[in-house]
Amino acid sequence: MTRLHWLQDTNKLPTLGQHWVDTCKRPGNPEVLVDTTGTSLESLKALTASILLGRLFRKTCSRQNIGLLLPSTAGSALANMACMLLGRTAVNLNFTASNEALLASVELAEIRTIFTSNRFLEKLRTRGVDVDTLAARYKLVPLEQLAKQNSSLRKVLTFATCKLLPAALLRKIWCQPCEVSRTAVILFSSGSEGVPKGVMLSHRAILANVKQIAQLLNFRSDDVVLANLPPFHAFGLTVTHFMPLLERVKVVCHPDPTEVVGAAQAIAQHRVTMMFGTSSFFRLYNRNSRVEPQMLESVRLAIAGAEKLQEEVRDEFLRKFDKDILEGYGATETAPVASVNIPDFLMSEDWPASTGNKPGSVGIPLPDTAFRIVDPDTFEALPTGDAGMILISGPQLMDGYFKNTEKTTEVLRRFDDKYWYVSGDKGYLDGEGFLYIQDRYSRFAKIGGEMVGLGAVEKALREFVSKPEFETVVVSLPDAKKGERLVALVTMGVDAHAIRNGLSASGLNSLAFPSRYLLVGEIPKLGSGKTDFATAKKLALKMSCEEQEN
């Protein structure tokens, strides 16, 4: 496997817009972008559509930051590429965040125009999103309405230029001058723990990450990627939008990752070979009886990220679909991928297979990405095998948080002439360089003077209950005697006495036993599929107070 020296070459990378033109102009004109709403575009038509859309964006919005309020569709992919051609900054808004967080993100990013879809706005209204307030404060421009401004003649002429002119000339005509260091996208957090943070990712960071991932995944000519993760999340935007499109791998868009029957039908219809998701989303495929194993027959790679892959989810997926889920790791601040497990491979016909996958780990670092495990207080490097704070370095690091120098300085540290991202995750490296995550440092509670990992308690509960439909999240609440106490939200009734005996037999410290089990209809989730720990804690506190009052 040839190792590319990205740290030396990233300054020579083109912008995302320039790379898009080059990719679309490669020999042949295959189908590259389809979605389950009926859109189907070959390479040159996709380029034409993004150019036409970019022209209308420029006429409609003069600001650098362009708001996009769209799910995973062909329209979303083309809108992001249109921004890249213009040298503008795409801000894909988190439509699953609270109304307050959504409005705060728009205001912080200095957005005045938001491109969206009439059909999608109606769906957001049914989900409780305050679309009317958004429309009253900002200019909402539906893509359906915008597209009508392009005449048939303009469409024909633009397509003709894309087909007849060489890539170099097309770049000069349609790509606005732009440095690879310019911010390409701003991605906001959900805002569940305060004002949303806007992660600034440059053209260089995203394209470097695209090339790093592509090198390890080793695309084949018949590969097809399912894109159903939301584009406001880096996993969805970089891995399922930018990566396949810039590598000219066919993309099949599906707007709702929780609607797994439709996604499975798209996988079967288009012979999807690669699917990406969170542990929570993969669980939905396991549970849904309408998703038949044959529907996922074409999949050769299923990769989970964004949250810890639960063992029972991986095991059930393997039993049902005969497919192994590989796990990766990263953060929005790393564009997002930092490491990934890959299938075991042969370095040569005469050599034994090399290990690319270790279940339980989050894989090996991407090319020119490095991990450092340090003491969280002193930042001194720890020996191999010792758990500590995970630091990440590589060409895919963010430039910082938008308008938040203090927080940027806090999480971007400079050691050995490199910038390192302080992940906030606790983990360790084994002797072969595989990374293992234990938990977020923020997910440790101090009970009776001892530190207890909430993730470890959740794992013990899942192992004891041992039912696929059982989900739980453990939170810590204030306690007058012990400082903190643990409360578990659960999705099915449990026998607290039996669990206590089971946890005791497993060797779990009694300080880690939950004091309450609160039954909920579902575990709070973010739009990315990750558990919403902040909302879970608020819910547990509210339910505990109501119990005491009654």
> For 317-328, how does the pLDDT look when each residue is reduced to its tens digit (9 = 90+)?
999 999 999 999
**What gap in Å lies between CA 388 and CA 441, rounded to an integer?**
9
Given 385, 405, 439, which residue is the final one in a domain?
A: 439
228 contacts 72 by C-beta, under 8 angstroms:
yes
Give the residue-averaged pLDDT of 212-238.
93
146 contacts 116 by C-beta, under 8 angstroms:
no
What is residue 369's three-state secondary structure? coil
Residue 3 has pLDDT above 60, yes or no: no
What is residue 108's three-state secondary structure? helix
73 contacts 236 by C-beta, under 8 angstroms:
no
214 with 335, same domain?
Answer: yes
**What gap in Å lies between CA 459 and CA 452, rounded to an integer?**
13
Given 293, 308, 340, which residue is the final one in a domain?
A: 340
> For 139-159, how does the pLDDT look when each residue is reduced to its tens digit (9 = 90+)?
999 999 998 999 999 999 999
The continuous run of DSSP H or E covering 337 comes out as: strand 337-340
Residue span of the structural domain in which 487 resides: 448-549
Q: Which two tokens stand for residue 455?
A: 């993730």
What is residue 548's three-state secondary structure? helix
The number of domains in the chain is 3
To the nearest 5 percent, what fractions of the chain are helix, strand and coil? Answer: 40, 25, 35
263 with 409, same domain?
Answer: no
CATH number at residue 131: 3.40.50.12780
Q: Look at the block and give the residue holding tokens 């004091």.
A: 515
**pLDDT at site 345:** 58
**pLDDT at site 8:** 55
Residue 193 has pLDDT above 90, yes or no: no
> For 282-291, how does the pLDDT look when each residue is reduced to its tens digit (9 = 90+)?
999 999 999 9
Residue 195 has pLDDT above 80, yes or no: no
pLDDT band at 6 (very low <50, low <70, confident <90, very high): very low
395 with 290, same domain?
Answer: no
Residue 374 has pLDDT above 70, yes or no: yes
262 with 411, same domain?
Answer: no
pLDDT band at 190 (very low <50, low <70, confident <90, very high): low
61 with 207, same domain?
Answer: yes
> For 519-535, how does the pLDDT look when each residue is reduced to its tens digit (9 = 90+)?
998 998 887 778 888 88
Give domain status of residue 351, yes or no: no
194 with 243, same domain?
Answer: yes
280 with 197, same domain?
Answer: yes
> For 400-452, how does the pLDDT look when each residue is reduced to its tens digit (9 = 90+)?
999 999 999 999 999 888 999 999 999 999 999 999 999 888 888 888 778 88
Given 340, 356, 375, which residue is the final one in a domain?
A: 340
pTM of the predicted model, to two decimals? 0.89
309 with 414, same domain?
Answer: no
> For 324-373, how does the pLDDT look when each residue is reduced to its tens digit (9 = 90+)?
999 999 999 999 999 999 987 544 455 555 678 899 999 999 999 999 99
Q: Which residues contact 438 (CB under 8 A, 6 or more apart)?
A: 387, 425, 426, 427, 428, 453, 455, 456
140 with 73, same domain?
Answer: yes
184 with 47, same domain?
Answer: yes
Q: Which two tokens stand for residue 342?
A: 């890959």
Q: Which two tokens stand for residue 278?
A: 């969170």
Give domain status of residue 153, yes or no: yes
**pLDDT at site 1:** 31
Give domain status of residue 108, yes or no: yes
260 with 207, same domain?
Answer: yes
What is residue 390's three-state secondary structure? strand
**pLDDT at site 194:** 61
Q: For residues 427, 428, 432 and 434, what is the CA-based torsion angle, rounded to 10 degrees?
A: 0
115: which strand partners?
68, 141
Give the residue-averaged pLDDT of 261-286.
95
Q: What is the 3-state secondary structure (H, E, C) of 502-523?
A: HHHHCCCCHHHCCCEEEECCCC
Is 326 or 499 the better-scoring residue by pLDDT? 326
Q: How far is CA 180 from CA 11, 207, 355, 501, in A?
A: 7, 9, 35, 58
Give the residue-averaged pLDDT of 495-516.
85
102 contacts 195 by C-beta, under 8 angstroms:
no
102: which strand partners?
none
What is residue 474's three-state secondary structure? strand
**pLDDT at site 377:** 92
**pLDDT at site 550:** 60
368 with 458, same domain?
Answer: no
Give the residue-averaged pLDDT of 166-185.
95
**pLDDT at site 139:** 95
Residue 469 has pLDDT above 80, yes or no: yes
**Angle, CA 231 vertex, CA 227 and CA 235 arms, to 5°:** 70
On the 0-12 / 13-18 / 19+ scale of CB atoms within 10 A, 31 is middle
Q: Percent of the chain beyond pLDDT 70?
A: 95
> For 60-117, how does the pLDDT look when each residue is reduced to its tens digit (9 = 90+)?
999 999 999 999 999 999 999 999 999 999 999 999 888 888 999 999 999 999 999 9
Is 504 or 69 the better-scoring residue by pLDDT? 69
The mean predicted confidence, pLDDT, of the chain is 90
CATH number at residue 514: 3.30.300.30
**What gap in Å lies between CA 387 and CA 444, rounded to an integer?**
14
